[in-house]
């Protein structure tokens, strides 16, 4: 089943490229391919047994001489992320419906991107996982470079160089780990780490291998100071590609930390927890500060994404600073918050970029200063945008609140000083997000904006699943948390020592 979910999008891409005449219906083919894969993924996640561990496993020998298997499965760590890809992929295809220039290439690259994302979230052997990890980079690079804005070439090159250099460091680290342990299997490596075999086998090299693996993921999150590629890539990418980057690809780095670094190098995180916490805190504050300085709405949202994803890393590093499990099980609470934040932010941020794209379409600009008073002219637009902004702000009963209350509740019990500072950074987050609403939707409308078209009912329908999910996550967080509860309990106990 997982193999079908993963490769149906790429088969649809091949159909667009190779079948005679298929290019003329590339959009319907892309939509059908993404929908079939999405429905299967949703079916699998619904069928996930909360009381069991790894499920829907497919494992076949691939290169047995070096311990490489085709090994996929679903556990509490990846179930929500698979669901996130399943929800966003058909919406992203619909958001791309107006693409006309080289549409065959565009939709083929987009479908390949979906296959890479499914593969990266389900693979359980490093060799197999790394192929999908890198495969996710290639279509994103070409989608930015071929279909982006005026600064697309520089943005695409920066994105490629940063992520490739990080991947090279991670690959070298994992190859060294394989030479010492004889395994690429994530599940086996986690057990070896729990038994103390990894640290004993690596010896004095432990810190260097930990750093090398972490760097590859550090770039992908990204965290300060390796974040400079993010805003240009998000801003210059076409809006649907920005939805992919912020909605899903930014979660690959956090997922990598939880799949590779936390279970395999828990001692490394514990030993360097103060430094890592400070870096996450700097990223939270720096992201908010940079957002305050922007007038380009897509760059504001890009730095908002940097700020919000850093909360996930803050929760993980806070658990590393814990001294055992306390009475409220704070490590599990913080890490559950990180899991829910990935899902909630993916839904909300993708929606915000979609709406920002509609604003550029009708207004011809991304500069916030070019707008004002649109609340009276475009009330539906103002409602949808404001709804998603308030979710990002953590308004009760919306997705952002449920995630952030868990992160800060757990982290405060573990590292109160850092958490207090992070909470103050929420004020800066509120300022820049509310400033967007104030500048775009309130005040006197420009004379030239009187004839701006309201967001259409069709466009509202495209994004309505994200709006519904935002409420469902906020009102019923347990429904989503149950998917990862068992796995996170084990992982947080391992990390907290």
Choose between 355 and 38: higher pLDDT.
Answer: 38
pLDDT tens digits, residue range 116-126? 999 999 999 99
CA atoms within 13 A on the CB side of 175: 7
How many angstroms separate the CA atoms of 86 and 114, rounded? 9
372: pLDDT strictly greater than 80: no
Tell the burial category of 268 from Cβ atoms under 10 Å away from its Cβ (0-12, 13-18, 19+). Answer: buried
Question: CA-CA distance, 342 to 350, in Å (whole number)?
Answer: 12
Q: How far apart are CA 313 and CA 294, in angstroms?
A: 24
pLDDT confidence of residue 366? 81
**Which H or E run includes 81?**
helix 79-95
246 Cα distance to chain centroid: 6
pLDDT, tens digit, 9 for 90 and up, residues 150-208? 889 999 999 999 999 999 999 999 999 999 999 999 999 999 998 889 999 999 999 99
Helix axes 330-363, 399-414, angle to 10 degrees: 140
User: Residue 65's closest CA among 184, 159, 171, 167?
Assistant: 184
Contact 61, 6 (CB under 8 A): no
pLDDT tens profile 60-113: 989 888 888 899 999 989 999 999 999 999 999 999 998 888 889 999 999 999
pLDDT cut 90: percent of the chain above it = 58
The DSSP string of 10-46 is HHHHHHHHHSTTGGGGHHHHHHHHHHHHHHHHHHHHH
pLDDT for 359 equals 82
Model confidence over 454-476: pLDDT tens digits? 778 888 888 899 999 999 999 99
The neighbour count for residue 249, using CB atoms within 10 Å, is 21
pLDDT computed for residue 172 by the predictor: 95
- Res 326: pLDDT: 58
CA-wise closest residue to 185 among 241, 84, 131, 264: 264
Mean pLDDT of the chain: 89
Find out whether 107 and 26 touch, Cβ atoms under 8 Å. yes
In terms of Cβ atoms closer than 10 Å to its own Cβ (0-12, 13-18, 19+), residue 434 is middle
Return the pLDDT at 447.
Answer: 63
Sign of the CA dihedral running 113, 115, 116, 117: positive
- Segment 276-293 mean pLDDT: 90
With bands split at pLDDT 50, 70 and 90, how would you rate the model's confidence at 23? low
pTM: 0.94
Torsions phi, psi for 367 (to 5 deg): -80, 120
Omega before 222 within 30 of 0, i.e. cis: yes
Count H helices, E strands: the chain? 24, 2
pLDDT value of residue 207 = 92
Burial class (CB in 10 A: 0-12, 13-18, 19+), 191: middle
For the chain, give percent helix, strand, coil, nearest 5.
Answer: 80, 5, 20
Least confident of 41-50, 244-253, 326-335: 326-335
Choice between 494 and 281, residue whose per-residue pLDDT is larger: 281
Q: Report the share of the chain in percent with pLDDT over 70.
A: 96
Which pLDDT band, with edges at 50, 70 and 90, does 290 fall under? confident
Element (H, E) at 58: strand 55-63
pLDDT of residue 497: 66
pLDDT digits (tens, 9 = 90+) for 386-415: 899 989 888 888 998 999 999 999 998 888
Q: Range with the lowest mean pLDDT among 40-44, 87-91, 376-380? A: 376-380
How many angstroms separate the Cα of 230 from the Cα of each of 113, 158, 220, 399, 475? 18, 9, 9, 24, 32
pLDDT at position 53: 84
Domain boundaries, the chain: 272-497
Tell me which residue of 38, 102, 385 sits closest to 238, measured CA to CA.
102
424 confidence band (pLDDT: 50, 70, 90): confident
Closest C-alpha to 474, from 381, 386, 405: 405
- Between 383 and 371, name the one with better pLDDT: 383
Where does residue 350 rank: exposed (0-12), middle (13-18), buried (19+ CB within 10 A)? buried
Amino acid 393: pLDDT: 84
Span 230-247, pLDDT tens digits: 999 999 999 999 999 999
């Amino acid at each position: 089943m997982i193999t079908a979910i993963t490769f149906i999008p790429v088969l649809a891409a091949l159909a667009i490229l190779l079948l005679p005449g298929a290019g003329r219906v590339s959009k319907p083919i892309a939509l059908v391919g993404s929908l079939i894969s999405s429905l299967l993924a949703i079916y699998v996640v619904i069928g996930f047994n909360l009381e069991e561990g790894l499920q829907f496993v497919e494992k076949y020998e691939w290169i047995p001489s070096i311990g490489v298997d085709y090994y996929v499965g679903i556990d509490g760590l990846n179930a929500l992320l698979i669901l996130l890809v399943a929800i966003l992929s058909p919406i992203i295809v619909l958001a791309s419906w107006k693409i006309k220039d080289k549409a065959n290439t565009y939709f083929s690259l987009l479908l390949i991107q979906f296959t890479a994302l499914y593969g990266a979230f389900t693979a359980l052997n490093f060799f197999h996982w790394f192929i999908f990890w890198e495969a996710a980079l290639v279509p994103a690079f070409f989608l930015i470079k071929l279909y982006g804005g005026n600064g697309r070439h520089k943005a695409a090159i920066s994105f490629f160089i940063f992520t490739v250099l990080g991947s090279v460091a991670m690959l070298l680290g994992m190859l060294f780990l394989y030479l010492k342990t004889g395994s690429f299997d994530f599940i086996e490596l986690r057990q070896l780490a729990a038994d103390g075999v990894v640290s004993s086998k690596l010896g004095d090299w432990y810190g260097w291998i930990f750093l090398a693996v972490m760097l590859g993921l550090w770039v992908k999150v990204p965290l300060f100071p390796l974040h400079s590629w993010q805003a240009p890539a998000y801003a210059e990418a076409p809006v649907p590609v920005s939805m992919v980057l912020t909605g899903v690809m930014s979660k690959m780095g956090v997922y990598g930390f939880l799949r590779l670094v936390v279970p395999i190098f828990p001692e490394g995180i514990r030993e360097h927890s103060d430094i890592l916490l400070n870096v996450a805190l700097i990223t939270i504050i720096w992201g908010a500060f940079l957002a305050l300085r922007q007038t380009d709405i897509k760059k504001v949202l890009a730095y908002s994404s940097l700020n919000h994803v850093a909360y996930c890393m803050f929760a993980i590093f806070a658990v590393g600073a814990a001294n055992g499990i306390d009475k409220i099980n704070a490590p599990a609470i913080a890490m559950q918050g990180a899991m829910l934040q990935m899902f909630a932010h993916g839904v909300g941020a993708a929606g915000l970029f979609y709406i920002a794209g509609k604003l550029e379409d009708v207004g011809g600009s991304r500069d916030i200063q070019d707008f004002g008073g649109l609340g009276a002219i475009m009330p539906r637009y103002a409602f949808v945008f404001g709804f998603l902004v308030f979710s990002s702000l953590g308004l009760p009963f919306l997705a952002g609140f449920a995630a952030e209350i868990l992160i800060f509740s757990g982290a405060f019990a573990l590292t109160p000083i850092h958490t207090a500072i992070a909470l103050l950074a929420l004020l800066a987050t509120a300022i820049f997000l509310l400033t967007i609403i104030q500048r775009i939707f309130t005040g006197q409308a420009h004379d030239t904006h009187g004839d701006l078209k309201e967001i259409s009912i069709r466009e509202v329908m495209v994004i309505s699943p994200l709006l519904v999910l935002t409420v469902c996550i906020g009102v019923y967080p347990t429904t989503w948390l149950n998917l990862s509860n068992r796995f996170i309990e084990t992982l947080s106990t391992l990390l907290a020592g």
